[in-house]
């Protein structure tokens, strides 16, 4: 089974995806697509219910999950991107040792400190690479020059082919099929001189434990890039190779019933 849902905000997107997976065989689906028109918008009552569900199962909060993709509070309190990177990398050893789920790293660290291999076409390449900075720089340069390319701003999590590919996956290091990093690639698309959109690809998406937080984190990352480039926040599209609505199912079903009027087809 596959599906695609379109929703107005993060909350209705999660509800719609959960409803689709609830009806799927074994509550799993391949090649799922979730499109969110406003990826920084939420329904407060749904967010509160999600936090209650996660806390009841002793799972990480929405913000804890979201911060692995984009540390919003750090970004708000940093003067610029360089300071954000410096502060995050300073605290990064604590994040990976204190929290067991981060023992293999965080997505944001991979995006701003990717261990890239030397590129024979580029002098001085290789070593830690701040890919988010490069995406922001390239969009800004092309906007200033009046010739935006539209769809070359890649934040990949796989193999770095060029300076706009933001990687998370590290070949030879990330060998587990269903562990970190489940998020494998992010791609930014510029629409004219007004919007920037984000497409994220997951190898595997756990909708209950991490899905809502993933949407929040990706939305925050998109808003950050939009703010740094002077563009408006566009759509967020999340593609999963395999998505699962994992246990606990009863509280999820109750949540879906409580917000049945918000579930989009």
| pLDDT tens-digit series, residues 93-127 | 988 887 777 777 889 998 998 776 555 455 445 56
What domains does the chain contain, in order, with CATH numbers? Answer: 4-111+129-262 (3.30.572)
Please report the pLDDT score of residue 148 as a whole number.
52
Give me the average pLDDT of each 10-residue run along the chain (265 residues): 96 98 96 98 98 96 96 96 96 84 84 70 62 90 66 44 44 47 86 90 94 98 96 96 94 96 83
Please report the pLDDT score of residue 214 as a whole number.
97
Please report the pLDDT score of residue 182 as a whole number.
87
Token pair of 155 as six digits:
């934040």
Which residue in the block uniquely carries the two structure tokens 């587990």? 176
Please report the pLDDT score of residue 143 as a whole number.
82
- State the DSSP string of the chain: ---EEEEEEHHHHHHHHHHHHHTSGGGEEEEEEEEEEETT---HHHHHHHHHHHHHTTPPPHHHHHHHH--HHHHHTSSSHHHHHHHHHHHHHHHHHH-GGGTT--HHHHHHSEEEPP-TTSTT--EEE-HHHHHHHHHHHHHHHT---SS-EEEEBS---STT---B--TTT---SSSS--EEEEEEEEETTTEEEEEEEEEEEEIIIIIHHHHHHHHHHHHHHHHHHTPEEEEEEEEEEEEE-PSPHHHHHHHHHHTGGG---
Please report the pLDDT score of residue 126 as a whole number.
56
Token pair of 43 as six digits:
């329904």
Contacts 24+ apart (CB under 8 A), 52-57: 53/208, 53/248, 53/251, 53/252, 53/255, 54/209, 56/251, 57/248, 57/251
Please report the pLDDT score of residue 265 as a whole number.
64
Please report the pLDDT score of residue 125 as a whole number.
52
Which residue in the block uniquely carries the two structure tokens 């890239």? 116
| In contact, 197 and 189? CB cutoff 8 Å | yes
Token pair of 63 as six digits:
């913000």
| pLDDT tens-digit series, residues 144-183 | 865 555 444 455 443 333 334 444 544 445 445 444 468 9
Burial of 176 (C-beta count, 10 Å sphere; 0-12/13-18/19+): exposed
Please report the pLDDT score of residue 177 as a whole number.
47
Q: List C-alpha distances in Å: 224 to 76, 109, 159, 171, 177.
A: 9, 16, 24, 28, 30
User: Residue 163 phi/psi, 5° resolution?
Assistant: -70, -10
- Cβ–Cβ contacts within 10 Å for residue 98, how many? 10
How far apart are the C-alpha atoms of 191 and 196, rounded to whole Å? 6
How far apart are the C-alpha atoms of 190 and 125, rounded to whole Å? 26
């Amino acid at each position: 089974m596959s599906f695609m849902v379109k929703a107005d905000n993060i909350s209705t997107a999660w509800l719609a995806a959960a409803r689709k997976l609830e009806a799927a065989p074994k509550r799993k689906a391949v090649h799922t697509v979730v499109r969110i028109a406003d990826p920084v918008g939420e329904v407060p009552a749904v967010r509160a219910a999600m936090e209650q569900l996660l806390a009841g199962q002793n799972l990480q909060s929405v913000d804890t999950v979201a911060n692995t993709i984009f540390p919003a509070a750090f970004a708000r309190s940093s003067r610029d991107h360089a300071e954000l990177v410096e502060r995050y990398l300073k605290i990064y050893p604590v994040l990976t040792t204190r929290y067991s789920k981060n023992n293999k790293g965080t997505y944001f660290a991979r995006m701003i400190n990717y261990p890239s291999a030397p590129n024979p076409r580029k002098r001085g390449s290789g070593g830690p690479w701040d890919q988010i900075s490069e995406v922001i720089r390239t969009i800004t340069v092309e906007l200033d020059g009046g010739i935006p390319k539209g769809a070359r701003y890649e934040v990949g999590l796989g193999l770095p082919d060029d300076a706009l590919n933001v990687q998370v996956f590290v070949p030879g290091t990330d060998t587990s099929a269903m562990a970190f990093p489940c998020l494998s690639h992010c791609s930014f698309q510029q629409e004219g001189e007004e919007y920037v959109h984000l497409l994220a690809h997951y190898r595997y998406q756990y909708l209950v434990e991490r899905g809502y937080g993933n949407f929040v984190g990706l939305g925050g990352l998109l808003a950050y890039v939009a703010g740094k480039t002077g563009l408006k926040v566009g759509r967020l599209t999340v593609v999963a190779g395999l998505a699962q609505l994992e246990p606990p199912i009863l509280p999820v079903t109750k949540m879906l019933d409580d917000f049945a009027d918000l579930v989009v087809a």
